[in-house]
Amino acid sequence: MYDSIGRDTFEGSMRSLAPFGVMVSYGQASGEIDPIEPRPLSRYGSPLFTRANVDWHIADTPTYHNSAAEVFDLIRSGILVANIGQRLPLTSVAEAHRQAETRATRGSTLLIV
């Protein structure tokens, strides 16, 4: 389970895991999650929990370039597919923000020049 929302979805995300499932928290759109005590995690089926941080992937220029190359290789090979939900002209950036803020979008929004 990958959770980019944070506080509002943490409990539901943890409950959705199968026993020994893995949850990766990588965002906090709704706020930071509360501190986690290890013992209560057992009620979710002994999951693995981690907080991803992009800083480790871009710590220095060679690491950044290698990480980017890996992502683009995965895209070229078809293993990683971008979910592009909508394409809007750059002049519609305000509309793109409105749609995102009202959760009217699915996938990524591309702004086209």
pLDDT tens-digit series, residues 46-104:
899 999 888 887 889 999 999 899 999 999 999 999 899 999 999 999 999 999 999 89
pLDDT score of 56: 84
Using CA atoms, how far residue 70 sits from 24, 27, 55, 62, 93, in Å, is 20, 22, 16, 12, 30
pLDDT score of 59: 87
The angle at the Cα of 71, spanning 66 to 75, to the nearest 5 degrees, equals 145
Q: 26 with 52: CB under 8 angstroms?
A: yes
Q: How many CA atoms lie within 13 A of 100 on its CB side?
A: 16
Q: Tell which residue, 43, 67, 70, 69, has the closest CA to residue 55.
A: 67
